[in-house]
Structure 1
Amino acid sequence: MAFHSIDWTRPWLATLAARGRRWQSAALDGYPSYLAELNGDATQAALVTGRGKPLAFIAQEELPPGASYEGYIAETGRVPTRHNLHDFFNALMWFTYPRTKAALNSHQADQIDAFGVGPTRGGLRDALTLFDENAVLFPCADPRLADALRRFDWHTLFIDERASWSTRCEARLFGHALLEKLVAPYKACTGHAWIVDVPPEYFAADESTARAMLDESVSMSLLARPIDSRAFAPLPVLGVPGWWPANESPEFYGDATVFRPGRRTRIQC
């Protein structure tokens, strides 16, 4: 898929559209224009990577041979970036949730320093990569809704408590591979939800404040303790109320190949 395929009217992209449209236009102009746009924003925002280096974006071919991607970012601040949708959304997340991206980068770099880059990543690096690629942040002010998500109780989460969305819970996409997939949405597209306990006033905050609250909370939780893949709950993203016209009908959620029955008891996010 090409850059022109991005539809910024999709509900999950609404909060990203202002910067995203500008970047999209630059990307359509070509690779140099695209990198220049990203770096102009990076200079203005003064963001840093996992080890406090000023964030910048470089062409993928500038990554030195043999250098690890995450380790290079942590040590230099320079993010190797291809001219494609996958890396487009990765860069966008650096600006949307900068503290969370820096926390992920810090953990990845520490793991690489400790264990090197082998044929397998190991449990912690697998979980960090899963978060980076496919996470859906699930801010929630009602433990019953978080419990419904953990227990695969789709009827409660999406039908009985439909009015609770945007007032007591919501979904925000983080994983850049997931964002890439949703350029061409399909019903079975499923993210890995990371449940974030938030106070009720989170849902009354303006967009900038809410996003900063979420970024701080998630980054702090990532830095506080190791994570593993069991810390996520599956979330079929087109089931989120308001995100897909067909889910206005309760029958949409009756598809057990997508909204699978099950029970999780070890999710700790």
Structure 2
Amino acid sequence: MLETAADPHTAFARVDWSQPWLAALAERGARWQEAALADYATYLSALNVDARRAALSTGRGNALSFIAQDDLPPGASYEGHIAATGCVPTRHNLHDFFNASMWFQYPRIKAALNALQAGQIDALGIGPTRGGLRDALTLFDENAVLFASCDPRVSEALREFDWQSLFVSRRDAWGERCEARIFGHALLEKLVAPYKACTGHAWIVEVPPAYFSADDAQRRALLDERIAGMLLAAPPTSRDFAPLPVLGVPGWWPENESTAFYDDVSVFRSGRRHR
């Protein structure tokens, strides 16, 4: 029997689709939100209708579908079960709501992450700790921001914690030579109630200048293919990410129109220098 999480109505009702980081999710997300506000069974049904239409697959080529969390067999690992069956255990909460959304936004990246996680589980089993590779994969899955750039100076500013260059002196680069797209579903959950210190882990990917003339679907498809290939070719480590305070992204938060916003060293910290 499906069980409903505590007060899901309040959590789902708080999602504001007008926020710029949710724009690409809004059409499907609003439909899912309406289903989630009805009940757990209606919500899972809505996810599975879309999954059948999209004909997506998971890490080992199984057709994507969504099941209630209680249907995960006892003793089965979450990632291993997804890889083996295509079925994603899904709770009636925002965390898993945004996780499901990413399967549709970036199916190749999600499948690559799942394949790598399942491969580690097959090789090493489930222990008290995940290990370095699984930690990095989880960090990507939960908290990544996809940072697309055709300007090496902007990418380097991000790597070097040079917030003044990234957000102030090169502010005109945003939308023209660089952009940020939130991938991590835990990060999206946090941003339902945004706060200044909310920080993602940026995964920097170089793109051609023509990327910024493409439409949203074309941009997502390029990132999906390119990043999935990067992950499979060279599995990530925690040092491959660059911290990015997400409300600093131009156009994402009204207060950052003032340069004084970036003077807060408790958020925009100096950090390790890239070597």
TM over 0.5: yes
Distance of 1:233 and 1:124 partners within structure 2: 17
Instruction: Give the 3-state SS of the residue equivalent to 1:259 in structure 2.
Output: coil
Instruction: Give the 3-state SS of the residue equivalent to 2:179 in structure 1.
Output: coil
Distance of 2:46 and 2:273 partners within structure 1: 43
Distance of 2:124 and 2:272 partners within structure 1: 34
In structure 2, give the amino acid aligned to 1:78: C
- Equivalent residue for 1:143, pick from 137, 152, 177: 152
Match of 1:221 in 2: 230
Match of 1:258 in 2: 267
Match of 2:97 in 1: 88
Aligned residues: 266
Instruction: Give the 3-state SS of the residue equivalent to 2:244 in structure 1.
Output: strand
In structure 1, give the amino acid aligned to 2:19: R
Distance of 1:140 and 1:252 partners within structure 2: 23
Distance of 2:176 and 2:230 partners within structure 1: 23
Q: Post-superposition shift, 1:265?
A: 2.1
Instruction: Give the 3-state SS of the residue equivalent to 2:172 in structure 1.
Output: helix
Match of 2:190 in 1: 181
After superposition, what is the alpha-carbon deviation per residue over 1:112-156, rounded to whole angstroms, capped at 9, x for unaligned?
A: 000000000000000000000000000000000000000000000
Distance of 2:227 and 2:218 partners within structure 1: 14
Q: Post-superposition shift, 1:212?
A: 0.2
- Structure 1 vs Structure 2 CA RMSD: 0.7
- TM-score of the pair, normalised by structure 1: 0.98
Instruction: Summarize the alignment of residues 97-136 of structure 1 with structure 2, pairs less than 5 Å apart.
Output: 97-136=106-145
Instruction: Give the 3-state SS of the residue equivalent to 1:72 in structure 2.
Output: helix
Unaligned runs of 5+ in 1: none
Instruction: Give the 3-state SS of the residue equivalent to 1:241 in structure 2.
Output: coil
Q: Post-superposition shift, 1:199?
A: 0.3
Is 2:44 the partner of 1:59? Answer: no
Distance of 1:249 and 1:188 partners within structure 2: 16
Match of 1:202 in 2: 211
Is 2:2 the partner of 1:7? Answer: no
Deviating above 6 A after TM superposition, structure 1's stretches of 4 or more consecutive aligned residues are none
In structure 1, give the amino acid aligned to 2:11: A
Q: Post-superposition shift, 1:248?
A: 0.1
Distance of 2:162 and 2:271 partners within structure 1: 8
Unaligned runs of 5+ in 2: 1-9
- TM-score of the pair, normalised by structure 2: 0.96
Instruction: Summarize the alignment of residues 28-39 of structure 1 with structure 2, pairs less than 5 Å apart.
Output: 28-39=37-48
Is 2:26 the partner of 1:17? Answer: yes
Instruction: Give the 3-state SS of the residue equivalent to 1:120 in structure 2.
Output: coil
Instruction: Give the 3-state SS of the residue equivalent to 1:117 in structure 2.
Output: coil
After superposition, what is the alpha-carbon deviation per residue over 1:60-79, rounded to whole angstroms, capped at 9, x for unaligned?
A: 00000000000000000000
Distance of 1:228 and 1:198 partners within structure 2: 21
In structure 2, give the amino acid aligned to 1:249: S
Instruction: Give the 3-state SS of the residue equivalent to 1:39 in structure 2.
Output: helix
